[in-house]
Structure 1
Amino acid sequence: MIVHQFYDKGLAHASYAIIRSGKMIVIDPARNPQPYYEFAALHHADIRGVIETHPHADFVSSHLEIHQTTGAVIYVSKLAGAGYPHETFDDGDFIQLDDIKLKAINTPGHSPDSICILLEDETGLDCAIFTGDTLFAGDVGRPDLRENVGNITAKKEELARQMYHSTRDKLMVLPASVTVYPAHGPGSLCGKSMSPDLQTTIGKELRDNYALQLMDELTFVKALTADQPFVPKYFGYDVELNKNGAPNFEESIGMVNRPSADIMLEEGVLIVDAREREAYRNGHLTNSINLQDAEKFETWLGAIIGPDEPFYLVAETDEALETVIKKTAKIGYEKNITAAILTPQTATAVSALININDFRANINQFTVIDVRNWAEINAGKIFEQALTIPLPELRERVAEIPTDKPIVVHCAAGYRSAAAVGIIASAITQVPVYDLGEAINEWK
């Protein structure tokens, strides 16, 4: 028996392949199915099934494409209301792979339709469980993502109550030696306090996971619903897209418009410039947003831009452009790309550069904007007088920023402030807008 984890650091997403006797099952696959095909070929296995633990909010799954390409059966809870060909997979159902079994366990909490998959080995022992977004290393899935989307909607307090019983009645009673394979690791927005471990055990979680400690239901609900991270704009869209199945990955990114020469850009359409900060500062398109191609590019893209908003995508080279197109497709936003272009000759706007010594000596003569997340802000402001507007809220709240002083934007390390400056400078032209960038480390 082979159990293999595929891990995408950008979305902190883990998917899995289980192989037995030349048959392979995939659990919670990413948008690009090619790694699963290659893994199956490497081990001379046929992909017989794809299991979705729930309709995911934070990434687009390739379950439908794998089914259409290989004929694999898609398994998902009947509660998901799946709009694609599938077999229901709920309490009491199992998949037989020669002499091992994959057994469904309904575990509502993160979503009403969440399931876990318990793996029974060839000796009849329960040896591993694939927990989707129900149980993570150090955490459990947040309960506030299905209040308005999905086949079944539920208030976060109700889902938190369900999570209390799913963990205590279904998971915590398993043998301590059972290996836990979650769908996410640290950095995912599907939980709030995940540990660095990409796998764990039931026993370790019973000892270390705050959500599995002895407490009554009300205490659990309060703990789970408090201080959850922000919800990116794309999450609800991805739930619906996954519920019905996404289009073919390669075909979909192949339809993105890639003009061979500079084009006239449509007025009013957002511009996302994925180049490095220095290249952007030295010459960019007016009113563009510098969202650099880094580890969390796709998350911040879907946090700043809504699922129905078109945008231009700018990169330095053809290779860099293809990379960000594929990252965009991981959250289902490739359809939003009006055109993917190389840096045009008209990219001549230059960013205002801050004089750090002047700022340090005269901080009160600047309007300081803190674009960190609320958890960071609540843990302590770096500049007491700063106006706090987290980056995902900035486009909607930019009118709150005073225009009587030069503006200085900061985050924790410089990535988010680089994006924020473009958003603010597009709306406020009366005063210069500066990015404090990595210099924030002088004040931390």
Structure 2
Amino acid sequence: MPLPSSSTPAVQIQQFYDKGLAHASYAIRCGRQVAVIDPGRDPQPYYDFADEHEAEIVAVIETHPHADFVSSHLEIAQETDATIYCSKLTGARYLHKNFDDGDRLRLGNVELHAINTPGHSPDSISVLLIDELAQTRAVFTGDTLFVGDVGRPDLRENEAVGGHAREALAAQLYRSTRQKLMALPPTTRVYPAHGPGSLCGKATSPDLDSTIGKELATNYALQPMSEQEFVKVLLADQPFVPKYFGHGVQLNKLGAPNFEDSVRAVPRLNPHAALQPGVLVIDTRPAAKFRAGHLPGAINLQDGGKFETWLGSIVGPQEKFYLLADTQIQLDAVIRKTAKIGYEGNIKGALLAPSVQPATSPTVEVAAVRQHPETFTIVDIRNRTEAHGKLFPSALLIPLPELRERIREIPTDKPVLVHCAGGYRSAAGASIIQAALPGLEVLDLGEAVTEFAPANS
């Protein structure tokens, strides 16, 4: 659905929201010209929007090289002859025009102005929509300002993505918000690049757009505080960093290859093909089917709302893997999700579930867990920010993204019981442990975890 636009009838702002990645991208149309901001990996929705309005995509703007998804900016530019705009600080390796403080782009009878707003990343920009009366109508904030939150400043510390200290970036973000974004008119609409559940922030609101006035009143990060206080508050309790984030930044600086071509290039295998030993198998079927039969050593990462995030959190960007699903439609869907984080080249082969799958997993008896939890080694694979209240006093906390690396910390003198917060992640966790410690009884508490109250409540 179109979002509220400026008072100029000719201007339309359309948000495209990918719930799986909590990613929001935008098309701004003025007459028959369209500018796209922070597009996702699949460019087709933006082509469809332009075609629907008999318009032409003339500009693609990247607010920064995103870590959590792969952008189609290069593909769109190659397909439509649109110009890519990004900050000169990006280090982009594709043809582009610099878009920094003072730079502007005309779109019909409105203008798009760049403002440098570093902090989430050193190269972040925001984009102002200025109407024909020179009034600021909207700001596209990328990952600098979210609804109810601001972007995290700790994703560029690795040398591969710049080696920028989180404290220094947090201080930059303090100045970007105070000196630039908070100075905009209160009626300015705010359109961020992410919504709730994004790992680029920690307290993002369910709302997908806002106004500067509303954010000044309700956003914790925009309340009166010193720079030192801001840095301390912002850095506290940030979520984990998935393994693929650095890979995403590098790929976006380079420009990703054509989406559909990349998807078609994934090798499709016969269900009974011999798989290379030592290569991961990612089984995307429901947990109950996996428990009833699976390939030895397979990881049960169910196709769900956050599949791509968890895939990129468990599997490193250099690891090859097989991808397995129940039907061709489901297999195609998970391949496309894999491509959204730039992992399609890691797929050694995609195949349907073979008819014979010799390994099985035991089913948990919830009553036994309730009555005698001490008879199990309980592994809590929730994230640290979730695990303040333990469900079991003796549980060993190993967040799922760390589990493969820390598997040897798990005692093997008792059956192992794995739990998360709602049941989705524990299927993956239990299968990872089962694959690494063959012969050990490993149980997945699954959705039954919701029946257990925190031990210290």
1:63-102 CA-partner distances (Å, limit 9, x unpaired): 0000111110000000001000000000000000121000
In structure 1, C-alpha distance between the alignment counterparts of 2:163 and 2:127, rounded to whole Å: 23
- What's 2:171 paired with? 161
Name the SS for the 1:375 alignment partner: coil
In structure 2, what is the Cα distance between the partners aligned to 1:358 and 1:138? 43
**Which residue is 1:140 aligned to?**
150
What is the match of residue 324 of structure 1? 334
Q: Name the CA shift for 1:4/1:149 in 2 (closer, same or farther; >3 Å).
A: farther
Which of 306, 331, 335 is the aligned partner of 2:345? Answer: 335
Q: Is structure 2 residue 50 aligned with structure 1 residue 40?
A: yes
Query: For residue 308 of structure 1, what is the aligned residue in structure 2?
Result: 318
Other-structure match for 1:443: 452
Runs of 4+ in 1 over 3 A off after TM superposition: 149-153
Indicate which of 406, 431, 434 corresponds to 1:425: 434
**Structure 1 letter corresponding to 2:437:** I
CA contact under 8 A between 2:243 and 2:314: conserved in structure 1?
yes
SS at match of 1:180: strand
Give the Cα–Cα distance (whole angstroms) in 1 for the partners of residues 243 and 271 of structure 2: 32
Is 2:279–2:320's contact at 8 Å kept on the other side of the alignment? yes
Residue 188 of structure 1 is matched in structure 2 by 198
The aligned residue for residue 61 of structure 1 is: 71
Unaligned runs of 5+ in 1: none
Distance 1:299 1:157 in 2: 26
8 Å Cα contact 2:301-2:307 kept in structure 1: yes
Query: Pairwise mapping of residues 62-141 of structure 1 onto structure 2 (< 5 A)?
Result: 62-141=72-151
1:431: Cα distance to partner?
Answer: 2.5
* Conserved 8 A contact 1:172-1:202: yes
Instruction: Determine the C-alpha separation between the residues in 2 that align with 1:149 and 1:119.
Output: 35
| Per-residue deviation, 1:348 | 2.5
CA distance in 1, matches of 2:435, 2:269: 25
1:346: how far off? 3.5
RMSD: 0.9
Residues 87/151 of structure 1: CA separation in 2 closer, same or farther (3 Å cut) = farther
Q: Is the 8 A contact 1:312 1:337 kept in 2?
A: yes
Secondary structure of residue in 2 paired with 1:374: coil
Aligned to 2:425: 416
Equivalent residues of 1:74, 1:87 under 8 A apart: yes
Q: Do the aligned residues in 2 keep the contact of 1:149 with 1:236 (CA within 8 Å)? A: no
CA contact (8 A) 1:101 1:120 kept: yes
Equivalent in 358, 362, 372 of residue 368 of structure 2: 358
Letter in structure 2 aligned against 1:416:
R
Structure-2 residue corresponding to 1:292: 302
Q: Percent identity?
A: 60
Separation in structure 1 between the aligned mates of residue 161 and residue 412 of structure 2, nearest angstrom: 45
TM-score (norm 2): 0.96
Residues 154/436 of structure 1: CA separation in 2 closer, same or farther (3 Å cut): same
Aligned partner of residue 83 in structure 1, secondary structure: coil
| Aligned partner letter, 1:12 | A
Q: Distance in 2 between matches of 1:166 and 1:332?
A: 30
Between stretches 57-66 and 143-152, larger displacement belongs to 143-152
- Work out the CA distance in 1 between the residues paired with 2:420 and 2:86: 40
The answer as to whether partners of 2:271 and 2:353 remain within 8 angstroms in 1 is no
Query: Between Structure 1 and Structure 2, how many residues are aligned?
Result: 443
Aligned residues of 1:150 and 1:243 also touching (Cα < 8 A): no
| Residue 9 of structure 1 pairs with residue 26 of structure 2 | no
Task: Find the counterpart in structure 1 of residue 211 from structure 2.
Answer: 201
**For the residues of structure 2 that align with 1:415 and 1:230, how far apart are their CA atoms?**
18
Q: Quick one: distance in 2 between partners of 1:28 and 1:218? A: 31
Q: Measure the CA separation in 1 of the matches of 2:182 and 2:222.
A: 8
- 1:264 alignment counterpart: 274
- Helix, strand or coil for the counterpart of 2:405? helix
1:170 matches 2:187: no
Measure the CA separation in 1 of the matches of 2:344 and 2:80. 24
The alpha-carbon deviation at position 267 of structure 1 amounts to 0.5
- In the other structure, the counterpart of 1:374 is 384
Residue pair 2:161, 2:246 contacting (<8 A) in 1 also: no
CA distance in 2, matches of 1:120, 1:273: 49
1:233 to 2:243 alignment: yes
**Pairing 1:245–2:245 present:** no
User: Partners in 1 of 2:319 and 2:302 — Cα distance?
Assistant: 19
Alpha-carbon displacement from aligned partner over 1:217-258 (angstroms, at most 9, x marks no partner): 100011111110000000000000000100100001110000
* C-alpha displacement of 1:179: 0.2
* Whole-angstrom distance in 1 between the partners of 2:161 and 2:270: 43
Q: By how many angstroms is 1:377 displaced?
A: 0.8
Contact in 2 for aligned 1:52/1:63 (Cα 8 Å)? yes
Contact 1:234 1:303 in 2 (8 A): yes
CA displacement at 1:358 relative to structure 2: 1.9
Give the Cα–Cα distance (whole angstroms) in 1 for the partners of residues 159 and 212 of structure 2.
Answer: 31
Distance 1:32 1:431 in 2: 42
Aligned to 1:400: 409
Equivalent residue for 1:344, pick from 337, 351, 354:
354
Q: How many Å separate the matches in 2 of 1:150 and 1:117?
A: 27
Q: Is 1:29–1:63's contact at 8 Å kept on the other side of the alignment?
A: yes
On the 8 A contact 2:161/2:249 being kept in 1, the answer is no
1:53 & 1:7 partners in 2: Cα distance? 16
Q: How far did residue 151 of structure 1 move? A: 6.3
Mapped partners of 1:347, 1:257: distance in 2: 21
